[in-house]
Structure 1
Amino acid sequence: MPPDHAAPLLTLALYQPDIPQNAGTILRMCACLRLRAAIIEPAGFPVSDRHFRRAGMDYLSHVDIARHSSWAAFETWRRESGGRLILLSTKASLAYTSFSFALGDILLVGRESAGAPEEVHAAADARLVIPLETSMRSLNVAVAAAMVAGEAMRQIRLNGMA
């Protein structure tokens, strides 16, 4: 991240993303909102993918991206960082608006095609859901990430943590 920026409020982590446009959009949001990003490999596309680059535009050079070769590597990094792991999942029961976010939290979104596996669910400090109409399956992962990151940032700023 460029040195003229203050420390990020949160980290937004992508678990094995498989749609380059969504990953690029999320990373662009991270750059614009001063969020750190983490990508847990393997991704379903190369970082040179034109769709990824187009969605991220020239913002990608402005985001602090930690790349992790595996879930185990990410977990090692997370334990060292001390951040709580907050998983966004359609399988969770706690609404994101009912959760108390804190500075340093790591918001994790699963794969667009398959979500997050059980080992990721088991490692999470909290699992949150965005309540939807009962006949609807899920939101686009970039939209869900933006909604929850916005609420987390609102709470952190409201509570004077940033």
Structure 2
Amino acid sequence: MLHIVLHEPEMPANTGNIGRTCVACGAVLHLIEPLGFRLNEKMIKRAGLDYWDKLDVRTYINFEDFLEKNNDPKIYMATTKAKHVYSAPAYEDDEDVYIMFGKESAGIPEEILLNYEETSIRIPMLPHIRSLNLSNSVAIVAYEVLRHQGFKAFQMEGQLHHYKW
């Protein structure tokens, strides 16, 4: 199972978009406080559209609470400070995959990253770009994990309706 972890997210629209992505790919969304918004805000639900009630979302008071309640999981830390590219890990389909992203203004704190150097991953970018939008980053990495796992249980084909214009 895929787990998306947001460490202290600040923007409700990003979190709403990420929630919608989680519903589309069957992922659990974990939110580590403090949050920069309330979960009942209109902006978060607008971005998540009518999918928010289908989302498995869990909240934690801090990172230690998250670790404790999830039995100290193996976590891939998505950060611009990583040495490894996000497509490099195997992301086995027989294990829970946790991908953690930091808050929009500062990323994941270095005191956390120091313990996860070997499982830290990055999305390649041109050198003069600081970072991508958080919800875009989550979508990129989430679908890479799913690709590694063979998109099991996913609808793989669409169908045109052949409307006459």
Normalization by structure 1: what TM-score?
0.86
CA contact (8 A) 2:67 2:73 kept: no
Which protein shows a greater Rg?
2
Root-mean-square deviation (Å): 1.7
Matches within 5 A, 1:130-149: 130-149=123-142
- Paired with 1:37 and 1:123, the residues of 2 have a C-alpha distance of 22
- Determine which structure has the larger helix proportion and give its number: 1
2:34 to 42, 46, 68: 42
Shift in Å at residue 77 of structure 1?
A: 1.8
- In structure 2, the residue matched to 1:109 is 101
Q: Which runs of 5+ in 2 are unaligned?
A: 155-165
Normalization by structure 2: what TM-score?
0.85
**Post-superposition, which runs of at least 4 consecutive aligned residues in structure 1 deviate over 4 A?**
none
| Residue 79 of structure 2 corresponds to residue 89 of structure 1 | yes
- Paired with 1:152 and 1:32, the residues of 2 have a C-alpha distance of 14
Q: Which runs of 5+ in 1 are unaligned?
A: 1-8
- Paired with 1:83 and 1:51, the residues of 2 have a C-alpha distance of 31
Matches within 5 A, 1:45-64: 45-64=37-56
Deviation per CA, 1:54-104, whole angstroms, max 9, x where unpaired? Answer: 1012211111111111111011123x2x63101100111101112221231
In structure 2, what residue type is equivalent to 1:25?
Answer: N
Shift in Å at residue 119 of structure 1?
A: 2.8
Shift in Å at residue 33 of structure 1?
A: 1.0
- Paired with 2:112 and 2:103, the residues of 1 have a C-alpha distance of 12
Give the percent of matched residue pairs that are identical in Structure 1 and Structure 2: 29
